[in-house]
Amino acid sequence: MPKDVGVYAFAVGGVVQYVGVATMGLAKRTYFYARPGVTQRTSLRINELLLDQTASGAVVDVYVATPENLAWRGLPVHGAAGLELGLIKAFNLPWNKRSVGP
């Protein structure tokens, strides 16, 4: 897993179930899904979903993207955060709880 900042997706049976952004780096963020801390609600929830899937024999694929940061009218635009938000807005992902408006 890359240490770069980026976006990751968990897919089951070729269908993406969850998209997240790793502003601390992909390797570190995904590590917390395997060993979530007691206060990490999202990591705990996704860990349980991942364990349920793998216990039932499903294969969970992990896809990553490391988009470049951009600028808009001289202002910095975070590429990974923008991609994550766009993917959540474009697709109804069952494991994502974040609500994105129209």
Convert the pLDDT of each residue in 48-80 to its tens digit: 999 999 999 999 999 999 999 999 999 999 999
Backbone phi, psi, residue 8, to 5°: -130, 155
pTM over 0.85: yes
Torsional sign, CA 98, 34, 21, 41: positive
Q: Which CATH number fits domain 6-90: 3.90.1150.10, 3.30.479.10, 3.40.1440.40, 1.10.1660.10?
A: 3.40.1440.40
Q: Are 10 and 60 in contact (CB under 8 A)?
A: yes
Average pLDDT score, the chain = 93
Which pair of tokens denotes residue 59?
A: 């294969």
Backbone phi, psi, residue 70, to 5°: -125, 180
Question: Where are any strands of DSSP class E within 1-102?
Answer: 6-12, 15-22, 60-65, 70-72, 75-77
